[in-house]
Homo-oligomer: A and B are copies of this chain.
Amino acid sequence: MIEVTKIIKASPLFEGLTEGEIENVLNCLGAFERWYIKDQFVFRRGDEVSSLGLVLQGGVHIVEEDYWGNRTILSSISPGDLFAESYACLHGQALRVSVLSVGKTRALFLDVGKVLETCSSSCGFHTRLIKNLMMVLARKNLLITEKSGFLSKRSTKEKLLAYLSAEAQRQGSTQFDIAFNRQELADYLAVDRSALSRELAKLQEEGVLEFRKNHFALA
């Protein structure tokens, strides 16, 4: 129980709100919890949702199913993370993905319409909640846009350099550590791990950069 409260408090959605205010919001806006067993659908493609989800325990996968039935896991949502928030903001927009529980999962749901429209009681923390939601969407937007920029590069080399360049700029130094291991980086950039390693070796040989494990230095 206590750890769940921690998770909720730590969520960017409730940043800046006291525990009491959060409880207030949850009651006032009719938030509700649900439990799911392993491999149960939380949402199905085609559903129209009005609530965003917050994973409290367990986890869910966002899965895509194409015309021929091939399933792909788009992302993995852990406790504290939100899901379906974009769809919840778009009234009447049918889900183009499904949400599937990974193990035994507990999730909290919050009606976005109520978040936006209950302005009459307009408590300060309600405004804060709206701002937080907006920031969550904006942040996610920047992250995906950035990634999309990397993926749009034609070659592994270019993808890699774009990523490293952005990381250097983000960390404000030509020397920096990255959060990914090789396989994760390869997955993130949608390339083969060995091809990635090969490019790294080449770039080092060319003197464009130096690296040792997760530490990089751009020349």
Verify if A214 is at the interface (C-beta below 8 Å from B).
Answer: no
* Contact across chains for A141 and B142 when beta carbons are under 8 A apart: no
A85/B138 contact (C-beta < 8 A), A122-B122, A149-B74 known:
yes
Number of copies: 2
Chain B residues whose CB sits within 8 angstroms of the CB of A148 once the complex forms: 144, 147-148, 151
Verify if A145 is at the interface (C-beta below 8 Å from B).
Answer: yes
A142/B190 contact (C-beta < 8 A), A137-B137, A218-B67 known:
no
What are 9 A-B contacts with C-beta separation under 8 Å? A66-B162, A66-B166, A67-B168, A89-B135, A90-B135, A117-B127, A152-B190, A154-B190, A154-B192
A-side residues, CB < 8 A to B, are 64, 66-68, 72, 74, 85-87, 89-91, 93, 96, 112, 116-117, 119-120, 122, 127, 130-131, 133-135, 137-142, 144-149, 151-154, 161-162, 164-166, 168-170, 174, 190-192, 218
List the 3 closest pairs (A to B, CB-CB), nearest first. A89-B138, A67-B165, A151-B151
